[in-house]
Structure 1
């Protein structure tokens, strides 16, 4: 937790080019542990708000991650936020400075990282980010060189598909300059409904032919997916703390899915009904090819006592989707009416007329640039005030067209000019001896304004106060008011029709296969948010690496943009015209384009507990390093003060420099206090915790996550898990409708790995194993899936196990080699 916590106001960091800056001094501890005096580490974020988690080299090694991208994914329980209307991805810093995009660093090996800091949302303002994102700061080692490959295969326990990936990465880090090149190939084979035993809906009174091809063999739960990525970053130190970085990425994604077969229901001469399916002219399919080209640039430049960070980033995504149209089978019924064809006979190909496939194309362009200036404009009795000023411009454009639509191609453009500031004022400070009896109190004021070309002016402002009662206990309170515009894709993405999609009709209490329309909605409105957060961060007096974070969140939002919600009677009444039914009342199609909710509110309480520590006996060979095949320098393993995993105080434990193992465990519990939504002005208020729902299974009142593991002498084990309490979605009350109950769900993932390079006897006999790691994992260890039942105790067809979790239990094996 508050590892290396600083007193007073937040102070921006200026890069330090000295090789020894921030070296901590180890002190002996009576119990034999290594204790690190809390001197500043170069690249560390100095803040009055303590970090949520601080990881040193041994802590990072304990995760067994292959890249910063996979490490960040493993840290998701600590980096997620309960602020706003949902947890977004965290903001990322490198050595305490902004970067243009996470692409710059996502493929860097974790062995190149000296320290990781996870900081609360309040710190985001310091770097020009939104205040509803947590911040992750990666601190690089001074010197590191490696070339490596990583091969991974995933196989489900129930069979049906494979997922293979190969990645090669070159990394060079030296004196503030770096080069990182990565190429990735990935292929996942398709998984069909038949391979998961999906029961197809049947129409009462309609006969079928057993010899006809089955729809489930030609509908995919997981598409055939291929991906190729090439990503590169070059960064150069310009001396005196200045640096420049350039990044480029090219990527292609190719997905192919099956949407079923052409079918027809014949009416025989005697009035009987017979459903037929055919492979002619071909199974219905859709293919989406997306090409992405991205580039970014970063300039960090000291300007006297101030720091300038300038970033620019741009992307173009070109997408083409080809969707097969259903064939014209009307001629077959004509033959039946004429007596020329029996409803049960082989279907003549000449009477099955193919129709042209639909083609939807879109091109999305974006370009952003932002300059932030950070520094101290004045000194107060409580310390230096800290000011961040930012200004920038974002441009985006979307062009889309669909051959199946009569409307003209959509062409949307948006410009967003922004300016903002964040001011931190130290009120009292123990370090400065001003109001020391009150502890460390600081105040934050922030505001920003946007001029959006298609939405006019938008504004945001906020305020917060941080009270460091003691070096180990900190309270914080923050308020945010903001306005947001819908994204261009929400407004203008091309309309796409997908047939044969499984839906559950809460009005009639039945599962159906219907056509679904997706795309943009130009009628979406500007969103307004009001957000409150209260928190307490306590470095507990039990153990040396135990911390507790308790947070309360309250949000109220007006005119929110949302994906089309669960198809309940309230939703159908609120958005007339979105659902099309046949004469019998069965759903034929649903327009699922984004919608605007009039109002949503929510509040929750979350508690996070982090533990960690060293174990085992010292390893005489510890200083050989974790991956002997890599050249990592700067300091011996363990010389960088870590504050150790999960927490810390003014004095934190360093990583186990003597080669002992290290373990950590993070637990988080969330209690939803209230969640409501009003779909349209004047409409009924939906209680999303008591029978109403807008998505999936509704909102669980209680949820929890855990993540933990350890690493010792080359052997590592990680365990992660999630739990969500059961929910209920009420039916319409009409005949045939039913309340659905969603059961509790707990899932666990386990991953074990071994660093073969640490086994001296093995590497002597087979030098190839130097720098080699072998890992085995199981996702969804207990093969858990949520149980869904109606009032009779039966599971509706829409909520079959294969629909809810087609992958099931998945085994993985990974071989990682560093040269």
Structure 2
């Protein structure tokens, strides 16, 4: 038996014909559009007067029943003003960031619904090459062989695109002292399944020292004599340096049709150099002057320099091919990184000091040369090879739909070799081999589309299990169970339970131990700020952790503006033996880790070991909710100016119409029908003259003709035998009927009179009415918008070709505004509330409450409230975006036993502003011909717009030296000016 889910994979040419007459079916439809346009029955079960639309999922879209968190069209993407996909993801941080509290970082990245070997393959792609962006919650990652701790972002590429890009950027702090620059060159070509990209980048930044920010020095470190050197000029708040990077990627298809394969390769090499200063190694010698005169004093100061070099080589590849009804993905990613840090040694002054004290060292002349003792070197070399095979398909058809199966297995090899000349233990070598495998099942339990228990909505069960065998930690397991319930077209509920074991990384275990001199540290035992020697690196004693998480979620589509949705997520996380960074040095932390603290005879803190630690237990509960809204700016073009066949109608690629028109009229459809039917079955007709949206549906991703769809198209267009196959039947096309539908929907009734839909086909009337017979205004509005809205004018010749080939991301006079000539606005707001966040260091030690007085890291406790905002406006080539972050204040309790008071971390609100202008669209600047300005854009970014820094005070309202605003955020308000040009 063939259920409807099997039928959705087949294209009805009748749908294409209807789409030609109604942009509703040629354009990208809203997520719930199938309830308006799709039939729930096979074509032969529908009456003769119904236009049947059997929809097909957009090419490259993710095949899942889980609704996306956010979707971006080509016009939406242009409104962000991003210069690369990396930049676009950064701007989408509120939507792409996972609130689960595990992992974090960049989301899982797909291209055209498929895995890639590495994000390196496309991170420098210009956003103009993207047709659509989909962001999905963490559960979708399971369907691609990933764990459910990262969201999924899918980039759907344009079929044909080419660009050469140049970027020049300069930035600095408004307070000065921190210049930076960037030059980037890249080229991208997308030609169906074949694409390649090559890019080079150079970055530089200047050092920023304490004297450039008027830092108050820790007592005892300031010069005692005006002529002595000031160490503030030799302590950097930000290191200076430069970096170089070269990378390239190549992807191609092999074969044609359903058996087509694809291969991709990417390579990258980078070098990063930095230089920082840790103060002065000062030698001060005094002895009594001749004849009992005042003491003779001499000083020698040597900067303590720290030089770091990181060289990295990376490469990866992917191979994809269909195997029956399954799809096999093989990915390989390898990386080698060498990091070296040279740290100046302090000089051995014991002999000189003894001579000076004994009066046997004459210092009234030049100071004797003091050997610098050279430098120490800490180095680490890491090696990673990660291979994975993923098999995805639908092996079983249930009454509620297809079961989706994902099976993955692979091998990962890691090695770290670290060495430090300051230790006698020699080099540290850690190697880990990891064999992993997993399986994920998505089982539909009910389905309104298939008519199986549809009254309760669509319910899908997700079950995933995995096993990892680590050579150094043994066997680790993970298990995930989830339920997705599409209660209505608008509301989706979800619940996920995850239980997994996790091992610390080799870097956390074996990174080289590095000592940094003169680091500002706040000592809670004394309430003082000191300059101490801080140790960082790996901790080989870290154990594996056990994690148990529960997530509840709800996603509701709102009937606001162009599209809107509310997302609510609740997380309950508990862990055992978790690896954490070393927190602020409170009395409880010092008592629990006494071996990490070194004090002198007076109790003054002189050294602190900040390598990772282990908490016996860790628990947290949080709620995150947010809203995303998208709308349009400006008036839509008038019907008279851009009506059917009018001079302003659009006919570019993907428009769904013939040249110069906004839709395919009945005469064009008849020409297409004659063209199809004039060729013999088994032969391929000339498709070049067809509208792009029809060609897309009749071809595969590699550009080859899909013979199955072509045969179906020929049958429906050319077969006039049998009931219902003539004009007006389910396989035929009645231009008059489609025109009547347009006239009914697009003619506004006068006054408050309701729309009369009695002339519509019965099945379409059913889609537009509620159970009580009233009109469903939401569905009507969506269908009206898609059918009745005309597309904006588009220039011919060079402008059209420039848009297809990259040319600055838009047509002359309207690039990036969208296909209707309107602008775009977007707004996203997310609020996180922490209900619990605690840690137990060990049995018998008091529980740490990071929401109520205990420190979780170097920046204090955990904020109970966090807010993320992202919004923007883009119209006629000019755009502005504002992002904001808020975190509520925290408190760190002092120690009454030592007399240290509380430390108060105040609320912090920051905003970043981005403004950009597409120069080719500004007629006041470029006139009638853009010339050099074609494809050019200027951008201005202002970081920390209001120059706010977190205020930290003690119980008396005094700011401790360690927490001076310029030490917390040395840069403050910054700016970046960028010139970008696509050729």
TM-score by length of 2: 0.76
**1:361-380 matches, cutoff 5 A:** 361-380=379-398
Change (3 A) 1:73 1:58: same
Question: Which residue in 2 is equivalent to 1:134?
Answer: 151
Match of 1:87 in 2: 104
- How far did 1:595 drift? 1.2
CA distance in 2 between counterparts of 1:265 and 1:464 reads 69
| Partners of 2:830 and 2:323 in 1: CA distance | 42
Given candidates 836, 840, 848, the residue that maps to 1:678 is 840
- Is 1:802 matched with 2:966? yes
Instruction: Please tell me whether the aligned partners of residues 14 and 307 of structure 1 are also in contact (alpha carbons under 8 angstroms).
Output: no
CA distance in 2, matches of 1:709, 1:94: 26
Contact in 1 for aligned 2:562/2:632 (Cα 8 Å): no
Q: How far off its partner does 1:735 sit?
A: 3.6
For the pair 1:608 / 2:626, whether they are aligned, the reply is yes
* 1:472 matched to 2:457: no
| Change in 2 beyond 3 A, CA 1:633/1:683 | farther
Distance change >3 Å, CA 41–CA 477, structure 1 → 2: same
Aligned to 2:881: 718
Q: Quick check: 1:244 aligned with 2:263?
A: yes
Question: What pairs up with 1:699-718 in 2 under 5 angstroms?
Answer: 699-718=862-881
> Which of 752, 757, 763 is matched with 2:915 structurally?
752
Over residues 3-45 of structure 1, what are the superposed CA-to-partner deviations in whole Å (9 max), with x where a residue is unaligned?
xxxx999x9x9999x9x9999779579xxx9966565210101
Shift of the alpha carbon at 1:266?
6.7
Q: Residue 584 of structure 1: CA displacement?
A: 0.6
Tell me if 1:665 matches 2:827.
yes
Equivalent residue in structure 2 for 1:481, among 483, 489, 499:
499
Shift of 1:615: 1.3
1:254 equivalent to 2:273? Answer yes
The 3 A distance-change label for structure 1 pair 44 and 765 is closer
Shift of 1:542: 3.1
Tell me if structure 1 keeps the 8 A contact 2:223–2:229. no
Query: Is this contact kept in 2: 1:700–1:724, CA < 8 A?
Result: yes
Offset at 1:341? 6.6
How far off is 1:338 after superposition? 2.4
Secondary structure of the corresponding residue to residue 567 of structure 1 = coil
Is the deviation greater in 116-125 or in 233-242? 233-242
Pair 1:22–1:466, CA change in 2 (3 A): farther
1:188 Cα deviation (Å)? 0.4
Aligned to 1:629: none
The alignment status of 1:543 with 2:569, answered yes or no, reads: no
Aligned-partner Cα distance in 2 for 1:275–1:118: 72
Q: What does 1:198-597 align with in structure 2 at a 5 Å threshold? A: 198-203=215-220, 208-238=224-254, 239-240=256-257, 241-264=260-283, 280=301, 282-339=302-359, 348-350=366-368, 352-597=370-615
Judging changes above 3 Å, is the alpha-carbon distance between structure 1 residues 85 and 783 closer, same or farther for their aligned structure 2 residues?
same
Matches within 5 A, 1:15-164: 27=22, 37=33, 39=55, 40-85=57-102, 87-164=104-181
Shift of 1:812: 1.3
CA 1:396/1:336 → structure 2, altered by over 3 Å: closer, same or farther? same
How many Å separate the matches in 2 of 1:411 and 1:277?
A: 46
SS at match of 1:605: strand
Distance 2:376 2:115 in 1: 43
Query: Would the alpha carbon gap of residues 8 and 217 (structure 1) be closer, same or farther in structure 2, given more than 3 Å must change?
Result: farther
Residue aligned with 1:583, SS: coil
Q: Cα 1:294–1:499, aligned 2, differ >3 Å: closer, same or farther? A: same
Q: Does the CA contact (< 8 Å) of 2:458 and 2:485 recur in 1?
A: yes
After TM superposition, give the deviation of residue 592 of structure 1 in Å.
1.2
Are 2:919 and 1:742 equivalent residues in the alignment? no
Secondary structure at the aligned position of 1:520 is classed as coil
How far did 1:492 drift? 0.9
Paired position in structure 2 for 1:816: 980
Q: How many angstroms apart in 2 are the aligned matches of 1:746 and 1:268?
A: 55
- Mapped to 1, the partners of 2:954 and 2:296 lie a distance apart of 28
Q: Distance in 2 between matches of 1:319 and 1:722?
A: 33
| 1:698, distance to aligned residue in structure 2 (A) | 1.1
SS at match of 1:550: strand
Over alpha carbons, which structure has the higher Rg?
A: 2
CA distance in 2, matches of 1:699, 1:22: 58
Q: Tell whether the 8 Å contact from 2:333 to 2:387 is kept in structure 1 after alignment.
A: yes
- For residue 181 of structure 1, the aligned residue among 172, 179, 198 is 198
Matched residues in 2 for 1:152 and 1:546: separation? 35
| Whole-angstrom distance in 2 between the partners of 1:277 and 1:302 | 79
User: Could you tell me whether the CA contact under 8 Å between 1:387 and 1:423 is conserved in 2?
Assistant: yes
CA distance in 1, matches of 2:139, 2:913: 33
Whether the aligned pair in 2 keeps the contact of 1:21 and 1:42 (CA below 8 Å) is: no
Alignment of 1:646-665 (within 5 A): 656-665=818-827
CA 1:278/1:459 → structure 2, altered by over 3 Å: closer, same or farther? farther
1:445, distance to aligned residue in structure 2 (A): 0.7
Looking at structure 2, the residues matched to 258 and 504 of structure 1 have their Cα atoms a distance apart, in angstroms, of 20
Cα distance in 2 between the residues matched to 1:84 and 1:443: 24
Corresponding residue to 1:786 among 947, 950, 954: 950
Alignment of 1:172 with 2:189, yes or no, is yes
CA deviations 1:36-91 (Å, max 9, x no partner) are: 65652101012111000000011100110001011011111111111144533210
- Listed one character per residue, the Cα deviations across residues 269-325 of structure 1 (whole Å, up to 9, x for unaligned) are 89xxx9999664x31111110100000001121111101111000000011111001
Offset at residue 383 of structure 1 (A): 0.6
Deviation at 1:381, TM superposition (A): 1.1
- Structure 2 residue ranges without an equivalent (≥5): 35-54, 290-294, 643-651, 663-691, 695-777, 787-816
The residue number in structure 1 matching 2:754 is none
Q: Which moved more, 1:348-357 or 1:450-459?
A: 348-357
Q: 2:282·2:300 contact (CA, 8 Å) conserved in 1?
A: no
- Which structure's residues are more often strand, by fraction? 1
Pick which of 589-598 and 306-315 moved more.
Answer: 589-598
CA apart distance, 1:267: 8.5
Distance (whole Å) between structure 2 residues aligned to residue 276 and residue 568 of structure 1: 40
Shift in Å, 1:360:
1.4
Higher normalized helix content (fraction of residues):
2
Partners of 2:593 and 2:656 in 1: CA distance: 63
**Shift, 1:569, TM fit:** 1.1
Is the Cα contact below 8 Å between 1:264 and 1:276 reproduced in 2?
no
Offset of residue 185 of structure 1: 0.3
- 2:232 counterpart SS class: helix
Alpha-carbon distance in structure 2 between the residues aligned to 1:398 and 1:636: 55
Q: 2: CA distance between counterparts of 1:277 and 1:633?
A: 79
Gap runs ≥5 in structure 1 = 1-6, 623-631, 642-647
Query: Structure 1 residues 276, 740: closer, same or farther in 2, change over 3 A?
Result: farther
